[in-house]
Chain A
Amino acid sequence: MRRSLLSCLSLRPVSALAALSLTFTLTPSVACATEGSLISRLEPRKVAHAPASATLVPLSENWRMDGDIPVHALLISLQGLANRDQPRLYLEYPTHWQWEIVRPLETFLEKRHGIKWERIEPAGADSSAAGLAKADAALARFAKFAKGVVVWDQAVRSSLIVAFTIAGVEDLVIVTGDQLPLAAKHGLRPVVDLRGKFTGQTDAQIYQWAYDHYFERCSRDYYVVLGGHAGPEMQPGIADFGIRQRAFFTDLSANPKHPDELALLNKILGRQNVPSIVLGWHSYAKDTEGQHTTLVGNHGLIMEGLHNLPNVSFTSQIPLTPDFKFANNHTVKPGAPARQAEPKVYIAAVATDAMGIGTWTKPGRGQIPYTWQVLMNWAWMNPPALQYFYEDKSPNDYFIGGLSGPGYMYPKAIPADKWPALTAVGRDLMQRLDLRVLEIMDYSEGNRHVGNTDLPKEVVDRYYDQYPDATGFINGYGSARTFDLRAGRPLLSYDYYLSIERPVEEAAADLEELIQLNPQRPYFLLMHVRESNTVEKVADILGRLSEAVEVVPLDVFLQLAAGSPTYRTHYQQPTDAIDRNP
């Protein structure tokens, strides 16, 4: 099946891309293309090398709608436009921003890519004065990339999300009414004015208006769900990239409790190319992560889930340095004699989502063997960030692919006919990034608390069949019970989930209890570490265990588990509880 789909595009690359472009312009459909051409369709054009200099503007810690959001929205929209054909403007997000790599990446880009930063940091007595001075200075440099402004309505939060769509489509900077004189100073006049337009309307009505007026001119490869923080706060870090890509923005709900919003969201997702990218994150105020990611998967789309991932309009255009190659820390060497397990407890610790929003820069990294799940699409969407992580890794850091494929997806939610196009991209990215293990997570029928997070046999079959080069798979987020072993390639689920709040002594007691209850040796205890736990904390917990355990790299763990399967083969059963993440 995979071969027949791939062989249908044996055209020369240029004509293949042209054909794809035509297909997607006229009718969205399941892409029938090689891995490379699919990524080429999605990938922003790269410049030959990083710019010699670029402008850097620091942003404040205040992301309240009634605080500094107006000036931040102005700067982010300006960034999306200024960076459309070249990386020119980098925003220095505040120290406590969830994505913690802003500053390390800034240093990395300077040292490794040779970018000289031209910092705009006007002094100001208060944040609003300083913010306006920054906006003034940034507009002086980059207003020429805009055709005017779109004015959002500060009384209607969703009007700002609509303004992000309009900014990308019409090449407009986003301003409030108060900022119109500043825009005028730089020759920018109002083109669209949303003030008063949506008063009293529901989000479904507001986004329907945006759909009717702008959707046809938006990208079919990018859609942005600008959710996450809701109500009085907004963190639209991804919006510069969405504007650059002319994406359609909403924070529509996937919750059946909001049928009007859900219907419109289904219509939007149904019109996107398959596969294509959904940027951002679900609204914390409307639906659940499980509901939204399930819906994205139903449409065969790829979730890149971080609404406050910053500066991608800048970094997406910068190629890897010519001397760099993605190289992982494999301990298991192909062809070498397999290590055999001893009668003892083996532990492997895995952090998901942790490269960027976790503890990469926090104490302890390198202290023990540790596994990090890589967001594989960054290979083409954010290359300098991945180069930074790969070059910064310690000998004890091991990388795996995820989550469930290229991007964040739930395998049970994806229709079988949409798998081949997605797994083709996944295989390609694993090869590019030197990854041999794939992590799977599925919250379409449950979460850490209710329902189940297991995989039925037919889904496990698909992974073994469609990822033939993977040396193993791991499953879960919380604990799960799906286990398999085929031709020396194990699929193991997590036996333990270390939550952020779990005290060290209780976590050690938890592990002691698991070790007590699983009497056979070797016992393979796969541990998932929630991203905000430091490696230092994990090492402390493991150091308290009374029975001798060996903490090993994940590839070694899987090799040992393949040789001594003390776990039982198990799949999701028809009688398992199902909960659709209400």
Chain B
Amino acid sequence: MTRIRRLLLPLLLLLPLAACAATSPFEGRWRLDKARSTALDGWHEWDLVIAVTGSRVSLRHDMKWIRTNFSATNTVDTAAPVEIPAFFRVEQRHMALYPAKGGLTTARASWLDAGRTLRVEADTPIEISQGQANMRLYYEYRLVEGDQALVLLELHSTRPQPLVYRFTRVL
């Protein structure tokens, strides 16, 4: 390997990270496009607020139902797995599937597609009426439409079909 190559390789590897670290195109407030999404249960509105600080990505969910507002944040790290207490899932209130009290969700995150997709995988303990169970979750946050739209694909190890949410950027 030549000296130049030796210098370039780490730089190339860091490029996606650097792209995100500057001003990530993910950053900002994204509003659910209900007409183009899987039906949202129990909430009328959902804003996803994304902030990227170094390798940490904050995913804040601002939920609204009539006059009830609720906000919950899952912060993941693309550099290392994290453990999140009371991991928030959007669909949890109409099904008796609660974040297990005191339970920690292990979440792993990474950038894909040259920084245009954020993948999050999580193993979350769930309180059920029979006691406790585990759910494996897979999320992809994909930028589309000139970064003005965001598609979220969500898979559960326990659900027979994916959930697909489409957001548009709030200017």
| Chain A interfacial positions (CB closer than 8 Å to B) | 288, 447-450, 478-481, 483, 493-497, 499, 501-503, 505-506, 509-510, 512-514, 516-520, 523-524, 546, 566-568, 573, 575, 581-582
Contacts and interface: CB of A to CB of B under 8 A. Distances in A.
* Interface of B (DSSP majority class): loop
A485 B31 CA distance: 45
Contacts of A509: 159-161
A514 B156 CA distance: 12
Interface string B136-171: 000000000000000000001011110000000000
A493 B127 CA distance: 14
Contact of B129 (A450, A567, A575, A582): A567
Q: Which of A497, A513, A524, A581 has the largest count of B CB atoms less than 10 A from its CB?
A: A513
Contacts of B41: 499, 501-502, 506, 510
A448 B70 CA distance: 12
A582 B68 contact: yes
Interface of B: 38-39, 41-43, 63, 65, 67-68, 70, 91, 93-98, 101, 126-131, 133, 135, 156, 158-161
Contact of A502 (B39, B96, B133): B39
Given A449-B93, A496-B94, A518-B130, A503 B161 contact: no
A478 B98 contact: no
Nearest to B156: A513
Nearest to B158: A516
Contacts of A514: 95-97, 128
17 contacts: A483-B129, A493-B129, A494-B96, A497-B42, A501-B41, A502-B39, A503-B39, A506-B38, A510-B41, A510-B91, A512-B159, A514-B96, A516-B159, A517-B128, A566-B130, A567-B129, A567-B130
A519 B130 contact: yes
A274 B126 CA distance: 43
B129 A478 contact: no
A495 B129 contact: yes
Given A481-B129, A519-B130, A582-B68, A493 B42 contact: no
B158 A478 contact: no
A494 B96 CA distance: 7
B67 A448 contact: no
A510 B94 contact: yes
Contact of A513 (B70, B95, B127): B95
B133 A518 contact: yes
Q: Which of B65, B126, B129, B133 has the largest count of A CB atoms less than 10 A from its CB?
A: B129
B34 to A, nearest CB: 10
Nearest to A255: B67
A450 B94 contact: no
Question: What are the 8 closest A-B residue pairs judged by CB atoms, nearest first?
Answer: A479-B96, A516-B158, A495-B96, A497-B94, A517-B133, A513-B159, A518-B130, A567-B129
Nearest to B130: A518
B160 A478 contact: no
A443 B155 CA distance: 32
Contacts of A517: 97, 126, 128, 133, 135, 158
A9 to B, nearest CB: 43
A284 to B, nearest CB: 9
B76 to A, nearest CB: 23
A291 to B, nearest CB: 10
A288 B67 contact: yes
A582 B67 CA distance: 7
Given A503-B39, A509-B161, A523 B96 contact: no
Contacts of A449: 42-43, 63, 65, 68, 70, 93
A448 B96 CA distance: 11
A568 B96 CA distance: 13
Nearest to B134: A517
Contacts of B97: 513-514, 517
Given A481-B98, A501-B39, A518-B130, A513 B158 contact: yes
A492 to B, nearest CB: 8
Contact of A447 (B68, B98, B130, B161): B68
Nearest to A570: B129
Contacts of A506: 38-39, 41
A524 to B, nearest CB: 8
Contacts of B133: 517-519
A567 B128 CA distance: 9
A56 to B, nearest CB: 37
Nearest to B66: A288
B99 to A, nearest CB: 11
A574 to B, nearest CB: 12
Given A479-B93, A481-B98, A499-B41, 7 more contacts: A481-B127, A496-B96, A497-B94, A499-B94, A503-B39, A514-B95, A524-B129
Contacts of A575: 101
B152 to A, nearest CB: 16
A493 B133 CA distance: 18
B68 A478 contact: no
